[in-house]
Amino acid sequence: MSAEVHTEADTRVAGAAEPTPLTPAERAEAERLSGAYTAHNPVGSGAYATVEDTPLVLGGHEFTSRFILGSGRYDLNLIKATIENAGTQIVTMALRRAQTNENSVLDYIPQGITLLPNTSGARTAEEAVRIARLAREVCQTDFVKVEIKREEKYLLPDNAETIKATEILANEGFVVMPYMFPDPLAAHDLEEAGAAAVMPLGAMIGSNKGVRMRDFIEVIIANAHVPVIVDAGIGRPSQACEAMEIGADAVMAYTAVASAGNIPLMARAFRDAIDAGRAAYLSGLGAVVEGHAVPSSPTTGYLR
């Protein structure tokens, strides 16, 4: 039996009209347009975009990760896997979790991670300073996140007391990273007091509402000469990405990761979202247009 030979004509649908052949001019135009598209979209050519970025610098220390991770409520056995999936280089903790006993969180944090003890529980500048000094001894680090909250319902930071504590601790050689209500004037005062970074809240602690204070944070970012780290209220990776897109230098998240069904996987999702937001910011986002549409395809050079 001879082998059957199929031609292009055999594969056409029965009854289909014959395609009209292109004229030489049309074919030349089609090839021109195809070549122009390929030149700007080199798929498969290996021409992948890279992010030209500078490190995050805090108190003279350089970090490549822009994800700061809290450690308050994790099962101790999950901390190592969570940190590794997050790709973080800075982990925060309350002093009470860093107790020097057999249940110390310090025993579960991988080597090479920078510890950022916080002054959680402080109601005044004096209390925050005392906690910071104790944390320096226990954690053997000059880094401290100043948190001063006078009330327990909304857990809003007291900016005035935070400025006082920041100045005292900065003069003692601490790398001070104050948690603050996003007031641009207070951010300036914290910078003048010696803060190594400012950490404005995106929304109330634990609310998972995202960057509700976006307008004020954008003003802080536009005027700051130190890194701006969005802290508190970030409940989804997409919200962390948004914070990075508007120009934040880093994001701190904790509740959203700690309350996830798969904690290490959520940590990885946050890492990827923060990286994506940073890349988007560096690439230059398109302007928002109001009141009319903008064509996404050329409006000239149509085939004739």
Q: Which of 80, 145, 164, 209 is catalytic?
A: 145
DSSP 3-state assignment of 297? coil
> What is the residue-wise DSSP string for 121-183?
T--SHHHHHHHHHHHHHHHT-SEEEE--BS-SSS--B-HHHHHHHHHHHHHTT-EEEEEE---
Report the alpha-carbon distance of residue 248 to residue 281 in Å, rounded: 9
Is there a contact between 181 and 156 (Cβ–Cβ < 8 Å)?
A: yes
Query: Is 25 labeled as ligand-binding?
Result: no
Query: Is 112 labeled as ligand-binding?
Result: no
Q: What angle do CA 292, 293, 298 make, to 5 degrees?
A: 140
Is there a contact between 82 and 104 (Cβ–Cβ < 8 Å)?
A: no
Q: Are strands 56-58 and 61-63 parallel, antiparallel or unpaired?
A: antiparallel
Query: Is 70 labeled as ligand-binding?
Result: no
Query: Is 255 labeled as ligand-binding?
Result: yes
Q: Which amino acid, 15?
A: G
Is there a contact between 271 and 77 (Cβ–Cβ < 8 Å)?
A: no
Q: Is 153 a catalytic residue?
A: no
Binding site residue list for 1-deoxy-D-xylulose 5-phosphate: 206, 232-233, 254-255
Residues taking part in catalysis:
145
- As annotated, the binding site includes 206, 232-233, 254-255
